[in-house]
Structure 1
Amino acid sequence: MNPVTYSPGLHKLVTLEVKKLDTLINSQKFIAFSEDLLLKYTLEKVGISIHDFENGSFTIAICLKESHICIHTWPEFKQLTLDVYLCNYLQDNTLKVKEITADYISYFEAKILKDFEINR
């Protein structure tokens, strides 16, 4: 008898270098892009927390039924950190996590400085 194994999902963490500084200080544009991604990948948002800092940087946590997407921007360093995690006991979302992360990298026209994948 083969026991059924369960892996909650892929957790992807990246640090990106961004040359277009306007994307690091425009939280509303990031939110609009993220809303489009949620539709594209059929993800269900259950909440969002947004904080804009005095220097224009922002921190956003999008809580999903499937888990979360979080970002922290540092325009003074031309960097951001992005955290994408999708879990689901009914399907494997590994490819979806990688595609969402790639879409964000394209949105920011970014260079990857650090790239971590954690299979949870």
Structure 2
Amino acid sequence: MNLTSYSPGLHKLVTLQVNEMKKLTDSKRFVAVTESILEKFNLEKVGLVVHDFENDSFTIAVCLKESHICIHTWPEYNQLTLDVYLCNYLQDNSVKVKAVTQEYIDYFSATIIKDFEINR
């Protein structure tokens, strides 16, 4: 393996505008949607942490064998931030990162406010 040309993966960070408040406060539904996405893209969950705040916003971190998916919601601003990173030393998961991110954008029927891609 040539380590000087190795790139562990794509890290996608988005801020989304969401008009449907319930989706920004329903952490259980987000976890269920995530389970479906993980199955669809053959990703392996190794851990999950959910924290619901007093205003019904939530923070969730899904640790994956391939890295992680994190979300933070702000219903008071109709926004969320989403962080998707999939690394793999055997294959390039960049297309999968973009597809997983798009699945969440579709679920939230969201408008993209900020969209960053970091090749790590």
TM-score tier after normalising by the smaller chain length? over 0.9
Number of positions where the alignment pairs a residue of Structure 1 with one of Structure 2: 118
Find the aligned partners of 1:7 and 1:41 in 2 and give their Cα distance: 21
Gaps of 5+ in 2: none
Percent identity between matched residues is: 68
Find the aligned partners of 2:21 and 2:92 in 1 and give their Cα distance: 35
SS in 2 for 1:14: strand
- The answer to whether residue 24 in structure 2 is matched with residue 24 in structure 1 is yes
Q: How does 1:17-96 map onto structure 2 within 5 Å?
A: 17-96=17-96
Corresponding letter in the other structure for 2:74: W
Q: Deviations over 1:23-81 (max 9, x none)?
A: 00000000000000000000000000100001110000000000000000000000000
Gaps of 5+ in 1: none
RMSD: 0.7
- The answer to whether residue 7 in structure 2 is matched with residue 14 in structure 1 is no
SS in 2 for 1:85: strand
Find the aligned partners of 2:45 and 2:58 in 1 and give their Cα distance: 19
Q: How does 1:109-120 map onto structure 2 within 5 Å?
A: 109-120=109-120
Q: TM-score, normalised by structure 2?
A: 0.97
